[in-house]
Chain A
């Protein structure tokens, strides 16, 4: 394992084409109207090139927006339950994932396994083969290097590919899973030799120190920054929906007559109904309290509890926010000024 290969542009296309033609479930970034998002690939030409980041993260491949936990059938006074067959989940290749999206699976695995194990998440996660592409470009929303990531971070990837200026690529084979994919589908390659990957990576400046931020947050609960920062927050929840690590969910009933399904679906601590009791009592009545929860959960509670940071610096929440709530600016301001 841990071999490094050099593959030509043509060889790379051939690799992808062979996986697609072998009828594997291969998902990659595809241009759709104004967005780039992961879709099942039908040809290597579909893969988007001119973009920094997909609109949605890839968390849905292990934690779908909505998924059936069981179905029920009522028959008079009796009820029978049926579980979904998780063995049907196909092996899925995620092609051209960004390192910050791969990094999102570590906190997700933390949440879904820290005590009780969640077999739905684990069954899907185990079937993923993560072929990441390091970042050769970035934008002003990116801050992976401030949360212990980086444009060439290989942690969690099965294979990482770095695009070189001449169109050829450097391939780092990182795990058994990655190795078996390379053995099966890579027909044209040579040992990587003297390529220095770092020379081709985007320059993502470190904007704040994660440990410093963690220390400041330990005493920041009553700070006035939460109100100041969240004044324009609409509570729309888009930040949670595009986030690669947000895992809060709701459980809902999808009932039709005497049968139905219990479904888990994405939720957000930014919604006013999230914590509302049936009695009308709500522990977080204001949007500023909900914004505080978002930041403290990711950067204070999760590190304390799970030894994970609930953020990979992908910048999606800042790009998606309709009122320009820029998480990087807010975190930098807390880390630097308290």
Chain B
């Protein structure tokens, strides 16, 4: 199909190959293109997102949570929160959903070669970062130290529990997990405390280091000053914005912040770029 005849609102049909229950209300779908040719032609990079359809309910925006180094499928992780995610939650393996994408810009991982990477994530914001983490781990020789600071409300709310175990056991990853005070269980071996203060205590070296931060607005707000204190420059701090979107292709107007569209110019921004934007995200 030539570009003029492409319906940019028509989803690809995807089959749910595997469903993983990650945490209360949080699921991961492994998705495969129904049309093999579409699947083979599909390419994306870390940081990009898609519009996922539960037919009969509508579309929701999530990042692609799997790494582009893992071929043949994509994964998304979502929390049941509204109409569409409730519709998705009711689906079973083998069911069909819709996917439009990949949309948006990417983390410039090529530019990060030879550097340390610090990942800071809170709650359901680990999925956008999981794509980057696996991408980095699958091309491990390109990067120096990899540190992950991840926190959730409670032990039960931590997502990707199996992968956390795997990262914890790897000698080439420094994983620090934490839960909010009161969220710990008797056998919890991680930290107890909020992400920003745990990060401050861990105090990773900012020299030659890229920081990637994803989390709820309140976590981001208190994490940025800690990074600044640790000596991180604004242009070395990356985050993804999660403005409400409908079209994903720079038309519906919803994610417009200043003269930028989060869906087209983002979702990946450096803190230096955010400094120049009106605070409407």
Contacts and interface: CB of A to CB of B under 8 A. Distances in A.
Interface in B55-100: 55-59, 81-82, 85, 92, 94-96, 98
A118 interface: yes
B134 to A, nearest CB: 26
Contact of B249 (A116, A264, A276, A301): A116
Interface string B165-199: 00000000000000000000000000000000000
A300 interface: yes
Interface in A282-301: 283-284, 289, 293, 297, 300-301
Contact of A69 (B7, B56, B257): B7
B250 interface: yes
Contact of A119 (B7, B81, B246): B7
B4 A275 contact: no
A301 B264 CA distance: 14
Given A81-B11, A300-B259, A247 B81 contact: no
Contacts, number: 123
B6 A249 contact: no
A117 B94 contact: no
Interface string A110-150: 01101111111010000000000000000000000000000
Contact of A117 (B4, B58, B82, B246): B4
A77 B254 contact: no
Contacts of A305: 259
Nearest to B257: A283
Contacts of B243: 275, 277, 283
Contacts of B259: 300-301, 304-305
Nearest to A262: B9
Contacts of B4: 117, 119, 122
Interface string A259-273: 010101001010000
B253 interface: yes
Given A283-B280, A304-B259, A264 B9 contact: yes
Given A247-B253, A251-B59, A269-B253, A77 B9 contact: no
A74 B10 contact: no
Contact of B258 (A72, A251, A264, A301): A301
Given A119-B5, A255-B57, A274 B278 contact: no
Interface string B238-281: 00001110110111111011110000100000000000001111
A260 B10 CA distance: 14
B82 A115 contact: no
Interface in B192-237: 216-217
Contact of B55 (A79, A250, A281, A300): A79
B110 interface: no
Contact of B81 (A83, A264, A278): A278
A278 B47 CA distance: 21
A245 to B, nearest CB: 12
A278 B124 CA distance: 13
B164 interface: no
A253 interface: yes
B26 interface: no
Contact of A279 (B10, B13, B81, B250): B81
11 contacts: A69-B9, A69-B10, A79-B13, A116-B251, A251-B59, A251-B246, A253-B58, A275-B280, A277-B242, A277-B244, A301-B258
Closest 6 CB pairs of A and B: A248-B253, A69-B9, A301-B259, A116-B249, A79-B96, A255-B56
Interface of B: 3-11, 13, 53, 55-59, 81-82, 85, 92, 94-96, 98, 216-217, 242-244, 246-247, 249-254, 256-259, 264, 278-281
Given A83-B7, A251-B247, 13 more contacts: A72-B56, A79-B55, A81-B11, A115-B250, A116-B249, A117-B4, A119-B6, A252-B58, A260-B55, A269-B256, A275-B244, A277-B243, A293-B256
Interface of A: 69-70, 72, 74, 77-79, 81, 83, 111-112, 114-120, 122, 221, 247-253, 255, 258, 260, 262, 264, 267, 269, 274-279, 281, 283-284, 289, 293, 297, 300-301, 304-305
